[in-house]
Structure 1
Amino acid sequence: MADNRTMYVIRERLFAIGDDFDVLDENGTKVFHVDGKVLSLRNRVVIEDLTGAEVASVHRHLVAMRPTYEVRIGGEKAAEVRKKMFTPFRDKFVIDVPGPDDLEMKGNLLDHEYVIEQGGTEVASVSKRWLTLHDTYAVQITAGIDPLLIIGSVLALDLAMNRGVGD
């Protein structure tokens, strides 16, 4: 991957038992803590900075045609993440941000092997193949893209996939 990317390391199957976990940078340094509140009705998770302050959150919309998750950064709505209705041959999710710069996740989402594109240009990628640990995956984010938006969207996707996209 290009040098203008930052890598973050996240455990796979994040919410299988509802535990909390840390997001690490490429050096293994903790950069965020995620409080997995999966037993809540809205499947809400909170991303905290190193001081324990909430910097972002992800929660499921209770009333929606298809699973829809809202990503909030600094208390403001940053995006809605939802599966596209008809996507033959591969999984696709849209990351609907305010304005015209929506992002799209596509690839093998169940295996956490996918890319995130904005306007047809790859801005992030997620892969288990980059790491030898079987319960982790790497998220590489292009410089200039808000890592909280991408990490929040990855968490929303994980929540949706663990619930089952038909729920």
Structure 2
Amino acid sequence: MRFLVRDRLLGIGDDYWIEDESGHKVFLVDGKAMRLRDTFELKDTDGNVLIDIHKKMFALRDTMAIQRDGEDLATVRRKRLSLLRNHYRVHLADGTELDVGGKILDREFAVEYEGELLAVISRRLLTVRDTYGVDVVREDADPTLLIAVAVCVIHLAEKEREED
């Protein structure tokens, strides 16, 4: 299952649509401007919030939290003690972990669980400028969670680049 994400345009709120392969709008990433912490909502086309994403305020390292229906679903942070700057770890609420690695800022990376590929994020095969694809490889994987992970990882990598 492939989703197409148009990179955020500079603007207040950082809102952008995610489309399916046919070009139909499926999800809206609603960036909340004027907040103390970085906050995004992943909404369906009716405006219902499916996933809430926010930066944790009091974490030693930059950390993004993902919640569904007010319940913690996952936390995302750069992998500690990694020589690769573009390696992130996702801690799911059930105790499992996902690894995210690749060229995050180039939108060329993968999400894996115990070495098994769950999703590939890439702009390599797309001809539309400022767009990248999120290919969910496993049929039993949660596409909304994987899209939220991609949003978090890209946001954290961009923030880290700004601080350097």
Is this a same-fold pair by TM over 0.5?
A: yes
Separation in 2 of the partners of 1:55 and 1:99? 19
Within 2, Cα distance between the matches of 1:82 and 1:139? 20
Q: Select which of 33, 39, 48 maps to 2:43.
A: 48
Show CA shifts across 1:67-90 (max 9, x none).
100011232211000001222245
AA aligned opposite 2:158:
N
Q: Which of 148, 153, 156 is equivalent to 1:152?
A: 148
CA contact (8 A) 1:67 1:165 kept: no
Aligned residues of 1:15 and 1:162 also touching (Cα < 8 A):
no
* Matched residue, 2:159: 163
1:88-127 correspondence runs (5 A): 88-89=83-84, 91-127=86-122
Extract structure 1 runs of 4+ deviating beyond 2 A: 14-19
Give the whole-Å Cα distance in 1 for the aligned partners of 2:159 and 2:48: 27
Q: TM-score, normalised by structure 2?
A: 0.90
How many angstroms apart in 2 are the aligned matches of 1:153 and 1:128?
A: 17
Q: Secondary structure at the match of 1:133?
A: coil
TM-score (normalised: structure 1): 0.89
Q: Structure 2: which 5+ runs fail to align?
A: none
- Structure 1: give runs of 5+ residues left out of the alignment: 1-5
In structure 2, the residue matched to 1:80 is 75
SS in 2 for 1:116: strand
If asked which structure has higher relative contact order (CA below 8 Å, sep 6+), I would say 1
How many pairs does the alignment contain?
Answer: 161
